[in-house]
């Protein structure tokens, strides 16, 4: 889109805006693309919420009690309604309104660009997951029938097939939910820390013990600090992942001149508090 190359945006802001607008490959292959209409709606919601959180001197006050984005449905920015109507009117008046409003918000609100990219990431992941739920097929009995050897008699025979099918479907959906949540949190946390995710292709951290200078992907690099995010800490029987890779991460970062931080997210155990 033409506005992605608008000279009012710095090169970094232009790249962030492009990243914010898309997720994955083409839409017909599972990717997600946000229209200017959707992005203007998201920008307006975020700007309104953040403006309530700062005083006239730009100091952060108590966060707004407004539920903002999460009080709306996923289609609030595309279906007819107040949010879409406002966004459409703004774009009719100024086709480059997205850039105009974004530049103004970045000047008025600290770190607005990062907050906007994070909100777009959340919205894209939610849109993608809704499509996953709609398109996830019920498993064929041939895929799961061998399990009946173990499960026969635990559930009445006439109910076992249905039970196994639905359980597998729920498992598949839950697994995809965990996967998409992990990707989303990695992106949002990277933005919060002021850093950026790096694939193996762009990463400055080398894998030790590999020939050919192979680099490793890193969840977030901010300055000379490298972060690895984990939802929990467990070991794998194969020793090919989990704890062994966490140890390798620390070693690779140190030898590449970065400070490694392993950030583990886990709910507090009420019995330990």
Summarised one tens digit per residue, pLDDT across range 190-229 is 999 999 898 888 999 998 876 556 889 999 999 999 999 8
Q: Which residues contact 91 (CB under 8 A, 6 or more apart)?
A: 36, 37, 40, 97, 98
Domain coordinates of the chain in residue numbers? 2-132, 141-191, 194-264
Q: What is the pLDDT of residue 26?
A: 87
* Beta sheet of 218-222, edge-to-edge order: 196-198, 218-222, 225-230, 259-264
Q: Of all helices (H) and strands (E), which one includes residue 44?
A: helix 36-51
Three-state secondary structure call for residue 81 = coil
Three-state secondary structure call for residue 215 = strand
Three-state secondary structure call for residue 257 = coil
Q: What is the pTM of this model?
A: 0.81
Return the structure tokens found at 147.
Answer: 């399990």
Phi-psi region for residue 111, left (φ > 0), alpha (ψ -120 to 50) or beta?
left
Q: What is the pLDDT of residue 204?
A: 93
Summarised one tens digit per residue, pLDDT across range 59-112 is 655 555 455 888 888 898 888 888 888 888 888 888 888 999 999 888 888 889
Summarised one tens digit per residue, pLDDT across range 120-172 is 999 999 999 999 999 989 999 888 889 888 889 888 888 899 999 999 999 99
Q: What is the pLDDT of residue 56?
A: 58
Q: What is the pLDDT of residue 62?
A: 54
Kindly tell me the sign of the dihedral angle through the C-alpha atoms of 116, 119, 120, 121: positive
């Amino acid at each position: 889109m033409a506005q992605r190359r608008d000279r009012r945006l710095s090169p970094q802001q232009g790249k962030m805006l492009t990243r914010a607008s898309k997720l994955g490959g083409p839409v017909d292959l599972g990717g997600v693309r946000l229209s200017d209409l959707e992005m203007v709606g998201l920008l307006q919601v975020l700007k309104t919420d953040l403006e309530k959180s700062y005083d006239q001197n730009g100091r952060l006050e108590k966060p707004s009690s407004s539920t903002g984005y999460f009080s709306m449905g996923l289609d609030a920015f595309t279906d007819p309604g107040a949010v879409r109507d406002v966004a459409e009117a703004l774009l009719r008046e100024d086709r480059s309104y997205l850039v105009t409003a974004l530049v103004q918000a970045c000047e008025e609100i600290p770190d607005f660009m990062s907050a906007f990219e994070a909100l777009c990431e959340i919205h894209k992941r939610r849109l993608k997951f809704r499509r996953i739920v709609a398109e996830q097929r019920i498993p064929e009995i041939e895929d799961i029938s061998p399990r009946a050897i173990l499960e026969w008699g635990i559930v009445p025979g006439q109910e076992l097939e249905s039970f196994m099918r639905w359980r597998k479907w729920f498992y598949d959906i839950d697994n995809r939910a965990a996967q998409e949540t992990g990707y989303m949190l990695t992106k949002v946390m990277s933005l919060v820390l002021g850093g950026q995710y790096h694939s193996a292709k762009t990463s400055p951290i080398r894998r030790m013990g590999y020939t050919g200078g192979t680099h490793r992907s890193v969840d977030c690099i901010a300055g000379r600090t490298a972060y690895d995010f984990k939802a929990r800490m467990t070991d794998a029987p194969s020793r090919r992942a989990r704890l062994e890779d966490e140890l390798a991460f620390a070693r690779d970062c140190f030898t590449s001149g970065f400070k490694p931080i392993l950030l583990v997210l886990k709910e507090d155990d009420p019995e330990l508090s």
